[in-house]
Chains A and B, each alone.
Chain A
Amino acid sequence: MRHPTRSLIIGSALIIGVVGVLIYQGLSNNLVYYITPSELLTKQNITGQSFRLGGQVRPGSVQLNPKIRFLRFVLQDPKASVEVVSHDLPPQMFRAGIGVVVEGTYTGRLFSATNLMVKHSNAYRAPKPGQTPVPDTYVDNSTQ
């Protein structure tokens, strides 16, 4: 008769191995490295390369036109800000004030994003007091 404890140990090792592989795959495919706007402004010769930029969407800076798939906003960190344009519609959770990571190229003035990801850890941070609301604008060509 086979020893049940031994087969159990083999089974457990198998499960742990599979989970380990899953974690390895998950981490290697889904880690998103990025630089911040203030790091970007200190870097030279970064134009032309594709890289990722992470920061907070400045409230009041979002302009969105779903008809022609145009999105423009300012990405900021406490020290610097960069203007971002994209021709993709933003994901569900995108809104002013949220943390995002954008992937694309920098022309020296504008960051042209090919991919936009909402960063999870910065969501719903408590707001700073003492500021007046600035509505974001959603442009509509049919009425203007």
Chain B
Amino acid sequence: MISFFGHLSILCGLAVALLGAAASLLAQPANQPTWALWGRRAAFLVLGVVAFATGLMILALVTHDFSVKYVSDVGSRSTPLYYTVISLWAALEGSILFWALVLSCYTALFLSLMRDRFAELQAYATGVLLLISAFFLFVIAFPGNPFALVSPAAPAAGCPADGCGPNPLLQNHPMMGLHPPLLYLGYVGLSVPYAIAMASLLCGSTSPEVLRLIRRWALVPWIFLSLGITAGMWWSYAVLGWGGYWSWDPVENASVMPWLVTTAFLHSLQVQERRRMLKTWTMSLIVAAWLLSIFGTFLTRSGVLQSVHSFTQTAIGPVFLAFFGFFLLASAALLVARSRDLGVAGTLDATICRETAFLVNNLLLVAITFTILLGTIFPLLAEAVQGSQLSVGAPYFNHIAVPIGFALLFLMGIGPALPWGAARLSELQYRLLGPVIAGVGVVFVLLAIGVRGIGPLVTFGLAAFVLVVTVSSMGADVGSRRSNTGETWLGAGRRLVRANPRRYGGYLAHVGVILAVIGIAASQAYVLRTSATLVPGQTVSVGGYTVRYLGFEPRRESNRMVLQANLSASRANQDLGRLTPSLNYYATVQQPVVTPAVLEQPWDMVTGVVQGRNPLPDLAQLVHGRNPFEDLYVVLQGIDTQNASTHNSRRPILLQVMVNPMVGFIWLGGFLLGLGGAAALLPARQRRRVSAVVPELRVHAEEVTA
């Protein structure tokens, strides 16, 4: 029943989406405004139908309807309800259904917020969005049908009694309910700015209002991507248990590439808005960002990564590739055909100015994206062309990403200090002197307290330089407003941010990047690790921490067997509490899933402050050369199961203990990145109203935005 109605509703949705796309796209050329209205209605209808189908799928999962193949693939009676519901995105077919749902939600939201503005543009954009929807509905309806039956001939007879449950890695931590949706909201959301960009090319209007529209709709997925990538890193770190957070895995690369290109777009758009330069380039960036999100989905979902030859085993791979190729060619043709109509281009007045900083920033972000793309698909190209098997290691990515990262960080510092148009060198010297002194000073202080290593020291120095530039430009703005209006520091700051949220949201995002970069540099350079085989009562020490093995405890849960080691941790005779890393055996999988135990001291400090504990004693550890921003990370690597006569609680274990410094900075940085993006989404407060009250404010507001 569920299978029939699910498939039927998807087929209906496909028909409606195709008709709606045709109506929306042809409304203008055929001069039939009512067709656009039908396209609009079609978009809402598609949302209804896809939501209904998704509801049916969740119903099938929750009621364990194992006659549906997807449910028998990812469901099992022993899986807890929460993981059963989120298994919607545990495998290919379900996640494409979820893709379509998110896309139709975005389309409906876009149409609701647009109302009757930009009627012509809106019709084209709706058409493009419905075309994308139609593609995904086609995949759901035919090659990747989640509603397919286990045995179509005899549904009742072929129904298995139980399924094997979702991939253990996906039911090992509640975060799985948050991390994929965040990334999907990012990937799918890029369709909206892409559709608006295409529509603006189709109707030949790139007015400032349209650019603002594209920017706002590009910021939304950018925020979700930032948060989703951070959540993915956290998941990799705190759930997968290999001790790191980034491995240049194709899945990670697929998520970071659209983010990088959207970041480049958000920067180049400012040049376009202010100087009328780089129009075709800016449009190409948002097109590329969306294409990369589709390519990422293809890459991670088609099985092509295992082998070039495996991707033709299902029809999804070729269908995805055809769709990608079609949109790539169509977008490129449209960009080329319309690039002359984008209006008169402005010219560069000087070599050293903010435009140049943005240009170089764009070049570097695109270069880093190209590097990652090349490294990710190189094994596939080699296998397809030469027939040889090869693998591109993490050193390749680091070899290129690290120097480009340094250059980007440096630009992030000088960019805000550079004026638009042309810079006077004397003024630049005056503005950058303080930050440069701060950067060099930080390096010397760190050297004095015993920090070593060229890479991290350069990073910390650059970070200090950028931080001082950013904070001092904010401080200078607040100070001058304060002296103009006589407001308090806080009041002036708040009103300034309200008056120009884009600028200060951007600064906040920069601070987030700096924190993340500090965290990455410190955790990569100063990680300490050791492994040891312990029997109960024995201890292992690393980096001033002592971990004692208390005993071993097997525990049965509904969906898994948990083998847990009980440990106690201490540092300089101060008790840090219990740690319980475990190995989890799921019935259907051979290898155990590792759950590490992580003692996140920065986080403990934050929760301590919330509970009214004084953080100063913890921070004062710095004076003694002890870093209070460290994570103690313990992985249970194995249990000696050979000697059957040993009592369970006395079994020897193999333990890996790591001290990861400042990883918490990455999580905080990622959060600030999203927060900065959200702040930049706020509408700027109307200046006219304010200036009526305080006349001199208007002058100031213009000065700030200029």
Contact = CB atoms under 8 A, between A and B. Distances in A.
B112 interface: no
Nearest to A136: B638
A135 B640 CA distance: 9
Given A67-B533, A124-B169, A143-B643, A4 B249 contact: no
A23 interface: yes
A137 B640 contact: yes
B393 A30 contact: yes
Given A120-B393, A126-B167, A64 B638 contact: yes
B403 interface: yes
Contacts of A29: 395-396, 399
B360 interface: yes
Contacts of A130: 164, 588
Contacts of B242: 92-93, 95
A52 to B, nearest CB: 9
B589 A34 contact: no
A110 interface: no
Interface stretch (A12-20, A41-49, A80-88): A12-20
Interface in A129-144: 129-140, 142-144
A35 B389 contact: yes
Q: How large is the interface on A (under 10, 10 to 19, 20 to 34, 35 or more residues)?
A: 35 or more
A110 B474 CA distance: 65
Interface stretch (B268-276, B363-371, B439-447): B363-371
A78 to B, nearest CB: 10
Contacts of A54: 389, 391
A30 B395 contact: yes
Nearest to A123: B249
B278 to A, nearest CB: 12
Nearest to B586: A133
Contacts of A134: 590
Interface in B248-282: 248-251
A70 to B, nearest CB: 13
Interface string B549-592: 00000000000000000000000000000000000011111111
Interface in B645-678: 646, 652, 654
Contacts of A136: 591, 638
Q: How many of chain B's residues touch chain A, expressed as a range?
A: 35 or more
Interface in B138-152: none
A133 B585 contact: yes
Contacts of B248: 120
B600 to A, nearest CB: 19
Contacts of A133: 585-587, 589-592
B580 to A, nearest CB: 19
A82 to B, nearest CB: 15
B531 interface: yes
Interface in B396-430: 396-397, 399-400, 403-404
Nearest to B165: A129
A97 B167 CA distance: 13
A110 B251 CA distance: 34
B587 to A, nearest CB: 8
B351 A120 contact: no
B395 A96 contact: no
Contacts of B404: 19, 22
A139 B392 CA distance: 33
30 contacts: A5-B347, A12-B360, A15-B363, A16-B367, A19-B400, A22-B371, A23-B400, A26-B395, A26-B399, A27-B378, A27-B396, A29-B396, A31-B392, A34-B390, A89-B531, A93-B242, A93-B244, A96-B591, A97-B591, A125-B306, A127-B167, A131-B588, A132-B590, A133-B589, A133-B592, A135-B592, A135-B638, A138-B640, A140-B533, A140-B640
Interface of A: 2, 4-5, 7-8, 11-12, 15-16, 19, 22-23, 25-27, 29-36, 54, 59-60, 64, 66-67, 89, 92-93, 95-97, 101, 117, 119-127, 129-140, 142-144
Given A22-B371, A137-B640, A140-B640, 16 more contacts: A15-B367, A26-B371, A29-B396, A33-B390, A96-B590, A97-B591, A117-B393, A120-B248, A120-B250, A120-B394, A121-B391, A130-B588, A139-B642, A140-B533, A143-B640, A143-B646
In the complex, the 10 A-B pairs of residues with the closest C-beta atoms, listed nearest first: A138-B638, A59-B590, A30-B396, A129-B164, A96-B591, A26-B399, A26-B396, A138-B654, A19-B367, A59-B591
